[in-house]
Amino acid sequence: MTTISPVGAANAIPNGASVSTNRADTPASQAAAADALVNLSPASLAAALQGTQRVTDSTGTPLVWENKLRDPITSVIERNYSAQSTAGRFRGLGAALLERFKSDGADLSQAAQQLPAGTHVAGYGALFSTQPSSLHGRGDNQISLSITTKSGAQVKLTMDSQDDGMAVDIKTSGTLSEADRGALAGLSAAFQDAIDGMTQEPPKLNLGGLTKFDRTLLASVDLHAAVKLPGGPDQTQTLDFRADGAQRKVSVSGPSGTAQVSVDVVKLAGLGSTEQQAKALSSYLKQVDQAATRGRGDAGLVAMFKDAFTSMNSNVGAANQPAVGGYKSTQLTLADEDHAMLTGLADFSASITQAAKSSNPLRTGELDRFSYQLSQSTDIGGRNQGERSIGQQQKSELSAGFHAPSKSGTQLRLDLTQESQNYDYYQIDDAASSKVDMAYHDGLLTKATLNQEASQSTRLMRYEFGRLISDKTTPGKQSLQRDLVAALAPDLKGERYKSAEEIYQHKQELKAVNDLVFLQAYPEQADSPWSVKQDA
């Protein structure tokens, strides 16, 4: 009789499996059996292979597997294959790939795909007349993680998924020590968190865990993701993240726009305490929220930008991160009074640009748009400790345009009719800066200034039945200058605080000074320090 050889794989039909015949069969019986197999439908083929644990997807369509394996990764693919969402397909898969390094550092490749429609057995040894094409690097949803160890070994993990298949791949170049493999496995939860965030709806950036990699063993971590969004074939959200000994950088791009954050992790002499960093982060995020409200920024894009900004500015200067060059090489150290004049965060640049849209068919030049940039740069120098100088500048810029109903309580419906052309069109242009300068001579503080500026410009164009009835620009500008030597100098001139009460009071004064230095793009919404001096 004619038989189909058993599939000794993890619930799978391995690529290249064959139909075998019993040598005792007569030529006539062999020919009859072959003809029967040639006509097997995908469903009939699945029924013929009932000796295996799992050879079909949720619809009963047979699957073809790349390799005959029984391992945890194949089991995860098997478990997830029938999931309808991208999040379900990748659930636990990234963690499984990295956890494999706990016991095995060898390369691995596995894929599972549905049989093409109309697949049939071609007779005498070939299970498929046409094998499915390789899915590696070709999926609608792609995620890859590349890691370089301090010893120079490189590890790359890739995952692909689309409607009719899934694929994973692990490749390693170089030798991995047991400690290296432990460091890789230690990122399993962080990698899975990043995957889960990117594949949820709407996408979210969960990158904080990947910034905590062991810098004594790993040199760099790179993550790339391209995830197909519901709503159309071209709706894809991409993510690129890199962290190494010099910087952390993330960029995201999708239908709603782009965002990027880059943080310098080399020059860390100005890094503040955990408490100060948290305060600075909160202050910057408040500026982002205010800009998004004023410029009508896309909520989803702004949320991802804030996730990125928080992740890139968290866990900087961790205990397992050795100092790399930067200010420490000059043998300059900062006093508490110096730190009080700084934000406490590492230097960064960040931007968010919303995809511009033309929502008024009668005036296509009036774009709904939103663009926001934020940055911080620090300069610490001097010949020696007693002659050191410190400077830090924070900047922000907002440019936006949007349509709004002329009357509150009404809805905006712009079309080709004059009746729809009753609306306001706003154009926003804002800028702000905060600049600190400090200088020492013979160990004494001689300069400690704070200069802050903020400007706002609002142009409002009002239309009635398509006719421009008003075009008004409202400018605003505020500036502030502070000399803070007197607030800091007593302690620095040798009048050291001795009692616990004096020490506590001085720390409170330093906190109050630190509250003043943060960027304030909208002083009318701030508690201080703008009430001290303002220019119209």
pLDDT tens digit string along 456-491?
Answer: 999 999 999 999 999 999 999 999 999 999 888 765
Lowest-confidence pick of 5-14, 128-137, 355-364, 371-380: 5-14
The angle subtended at Cα 34 by Cα 28 and Cα 35, nearest 5°, is 95
Q: What pLDDT sits at residue 490?
A: 62
d(CA 206, CA 198): 8
Residue tagged 């791949």 (tokens) = 169
Q: Which residue has the higher pLDDT, 469 or 136?
A: 469
Q: pLDDT at residue 64 above 90?
A: no
Is 172 a domain residue?
Answer: no
**194-223 average pLDDT score:** 94
Is 292 a domain residue?
Answer: yes
Is 287 a domain residue?
Answer: yes
The angle subtended at Cα 348 by Cα 354 and Cα 227, nearest 5°, is 45
The angle subtended at Cα 45 by Cα 42 and Cα 47, nearest 5°, is 115
CB atoms within 10 A of CB 450: 19
Q: For residue 324, give both structure tokens.
A: 């790399």
Q: Are 304 and 354 in contact (CB under 8 A)?
A: no
376 forms bridges with which residues in the sheet?
A: 348, 394
Q: What pLDDT sits at residue 259?
A: 97
The angle subtended at Cα 186 by Cα 181 and Cα 192, nearest 5°, is 120
Q: Which of 423, 429, 421, 431 is nearest to 401 (CA)?
A: 429
Cα distances from 229 to residues 144, 191, 201, 347, in angstroms, run: 18, 20, 8, 33
d(CA 332, CA 321): 19
Cα distances from 386 to residues 308, 492, 497, in angstroms, run: 38, 11, 20
d(CA 456, CA 476): 5
CB atoms within 10 A of CB 420: 16
d(CA 452, CA 432): 8
What is the C-alpha end-to-end distance of the chain, expressed in Å?
97
Q: pLDDT at residue 380 above 50?
A: yes
Average pLDDT, the chain: 82
Provide CB contacts within 8 A for 59, sequence distance 6+.
none
Put simply, whether the predicted model's pTM sits higher than 0.85 gets the answer no
Lowest-confidence pick of 107-111, 133-137, 155-159, 265-269: 133-137
Cα distances from 256 to residues 85, 236, 346, 461, in angstroms, run: 21, 10, 28, 25
Q: pLDDT at residue 21 above 80?
A: no
Is 325 a domain residue?
Answer: yes
Band of pLDDT at residue 296, cut at 50, 70 and 90: very high
Q: Which domain holds residue 365?
A: 245-403+428-461+469-536
Q: Are 127 and 17 in contact (CB under 8 A)?
A: yes
Phi and psi, residue 117, nearest 5°: -55, 135
Is 227 a domain residue?
Answer: no
Consecutive H or E run containing 10? none
Give the three-class secondary structure for 269. Answer: coil
Give the three-class secondary structure for 328. Answer: helix
Q: For residue 134, give both structure tokens.
A: 């390789």
d(CA 201, CA 219): 32
Q: Are 324 and 346 in contact (CB under 8 A)?
A: no
Number of H helices, E strands in the chain: 12, 19
Cα distances from 253 to residues 1, 236, 304, 317, 500, in angstroms, run: 59, 8, 10, 28, 53
453 forms bridges with which residues in the sheet?
A: 433, 479
Is 290 a domain residue?
Answer: yes
Band of pLDDT at residue 173, cut at 50, 70 and 90: very high
Q: Are strands 63-65 and 13-14 parallel, antiparallel or unpaired?
A: parallel
Q: Which of 329, 213, 314, 221 is nearest to 267 (CA)?
A: 329
Lowest-confidence pick of 74-78, 301-305, 427-431: 74-78
Percent of the chain with pLDDT over 90: 60
Is 202 a domain residue?
Answer: no
d(CA 521, CA 428): 13
CB atoms within 10 A of CB 407: 9
Q: Which of 514, 521, 529 is nearest to 270 (CA)?
A: 514
The number of C-alpha atoms within 13 Å of 519 and in the hemisphere containing its C-beta is: 29
Residue tagged 């029924």 (tokens) = 47
Q: What pLDDT sits at residue 499?
A: 76
Is 252 a domain residue?
Answer: yes
Q: What pLDDT sits at residue 331?
A: 66
Q: Which residue has the higher pLDDT, 373 or 505?
A: 373
The angle subtended at Cα 298 by Cα 292 and Cα 302, nearest 5°, is 60
Residue tagged 């071209």 (tokens) = 234
Provide CB contacts within 8 A for 324, sequence distance 6+.
245, 246, 265, 266
Q: Are 120 and 38 in contact (CB under 8 A)?
A: yes
Provide CB contacts within 8 A for 410, sequence distance 6+.
none
Q: Which of 373, 484, 393, 475 is nearest to 433 (CA)?
A: 393
Q: What pLDDT sits at residue 455?
A: 95
Positive or negative, the CA dihedral 76, 77, 83, 89 is: positive
Question: How many separate domains does the chain show?
Answer: 1
Residue tagged 């909520």 (tokens) = 299
d(CA 38, CA 36): 6
